[in-house]
Amino acid sequence: MVNLFSLAETAKDCELCPLAKQGRTQVVFGDGNPNAEIMFIGEGPGFHEDKQGKPFVGAAGKLLTQLLGSIGLRREDVYIANVVKCRPPQNRDPKPEEIEICTNQYLFSQIEAIKPKVIATLGRFASAVVLGLKDVSMGRVHGQKFKREGRYIVPIYHPAAALHSRANLEPLYEDFRKLKEYLEEEPEIVQEIETKAEQLGLF
């Protein structure tokens, strides 16, 4: 059985992938309730996250807290993590090698330890990684539920998208209302990812 706290301890000094030597201040492992029913997964730490050692603490993080509040949740109720635990230089996308190493070493074990009912993936990048797809169109999949290895995966828009354009705010609130519905749903209602992905022409 995976122990979340030992995993976090191991990650602190991790140098397994090239991101260890590319200017990170610290490893941002994840934060929140280890028994959360819902886990949020973003792409990787940004400037503020790298400095403070916690995920989603900048402007996008503040909006995430508000969105959680809109469905009656506090940050302490959920668990928040990223695909990669170290900040990529200039906020570039993490490379395939970095993603493979970091997810195999940490993210998948975090999910196994927390056992969330719902995993909400924030934005296109994290959604593709967690769904195990090469790419996804957020316009087509956001707010929908998929099932992979017994868990619900729900791609939602990244809060940063709403910081750039207010027009993206309402779809984001709508995604959160869906998350609340899924949290209250019986597991049998959720469709298998293969079926849904085929319908959407993702394969």
Name the site residues for ligand SF4 (rule: CB under 6 A): 11, 14-17, 19-20, 27, 84-86, 98, 101-102, 105
- Toward ligand SF4, which CB reaches closer, 19 or 122? 19
Place of tokens 């967690």: 130
Q: Which residues pair with 155 in a beta bridge?
A: 121
In the complex, minimum distance from the CB of residue 107 to ligand SF4, in angstroms, rounded to a whole number: 9
In the complex, minimum distance from the CB of residue 18 to ligand SF4, in angstroms, rounded to a whole number: 7
- Toward ligand SF4, which CB reaches closer, 83 or 179? 83
Place of tokens 């280890």: 34
- Toward ligand SF4, which CB reaches closer, 20 or 169? 20
In the complex, minimum distance from the CB of residue 76 to ligand SF4, in angstroms, rounded to a whole number: 24
- Toward ligand SF4, which CB reaches closer, 106 or 176? 106
In the complex, minimum distance from the CB of residue 175 to ligand SF4, in angstroms, rounded to a whole number: 27
- Mapped onto helix, strand or coil, the DSSP state of residue 62 is helix
- Toward ligand SF4, which CB reaches closer, 101 or 119? 101
Residue 179's Cα: distance from chain center in Å? 13
Contact call for residues 165 and 67 (beta carbons, < 8 A) = no
- Mapped onto helix, strand or coil, the DSSP state of residue 140 is helix
DSSP secondary structure of 63-128 = HHHHHHHHTT--GGGSEEEESSSSPPGGGPPPPHHHHHHHIIIIIHHHHHHH--SEEEEEHHHHHH
In the complex, minimum distance from the CB of residue 154 to ligand SF4, in angstroms, rounded to a whole number: 24
